Structure 1
């Protein structure tokens, strides 16, 4: 992957959660992870400051990929923020699908992946 700054939306501070494991894997492989979770905002997750929203995070970092660990019904507002901040890619983890939000993102020029694990895809391709 050429992208280096990956926002992990819905990341958990708990190390036993998939979002935490994927973020740790990406970080171990040289990617800068940007935790986004309003309940954890202001804390450190994997040594990185956690932001309440993508909008807040985008004030500090240019975000290449938004990796979503949210329910499918929660994806439309994430896509709206992705469009507003000019993100390049929205990635919906395994089991997460929202066709209308994906179409909206694509119409805005954002690359979209659904129902795929970023960690697994990285392991396969890199």
Structure 2
């Protein structure tokens, strides 16, 4: 069976009920897409937890070297890494009990999606979380 992203209604529900969002590959450089998207999501009221082993703090939040180092529950794992790294991120997301694996626009990994789904997570691929938030929830 071919992979299908959740419907817009399902994505709206995921975002409406989102707890902590761990952002794997969040750059500390303001000119990077991961930084801009995460800053916008933070301004919309989402709690962003940076995952970047090379930074101590990003967007005013402590940065962690890996998902396993985050000491609190993570609802969504939002991934800004190349496709070949996503299966490992999916395994780590499953280990920490995340509910959603979200691969940003341009990132596709059937292996990561299969790992996520077999672990009970919802997988989303090739979609920008900021764009989906704007479409699904508008001005909330």
TM-score normalised over the length of structure 2 = 0.85
| 1:3-26 CA-partner distances (Å, limit 9, x unpaired) | 121001000000010100111011
Q: Which residues of structure 2 form unaligned runs of 5+? A: 1-14
Within the candidate set 28, 34, 39, 2:43 is matched to 28
Within the candidate set 1, 6, 9, 2:24 is matched to 9
CA distance in 2, matches of 1:36, 1:88: 17
Aligned residues: 122
**Larger Rg, first or second structure (1 or 2):** 2
- 1:100 positional shift: 1.5
Partner of 1:121: 132
Within the candidate set 40, 58, 61, 1:45 is matched to 58
Q: Which residues of structure 1 form unaligned runs of 5+? A: none
Any runs of at least 4 consecutive aligned residues in structure 1 with deviations exceeding 2 A, and if so which? none
CA distance in 2, matches of 1:31, 1:101: 24
- 1:101 positional shift: 1.6
TM-score normalised over the length of structure 1 = 0.94
CA distance in 1, matches of 2:115, 2:20: 22
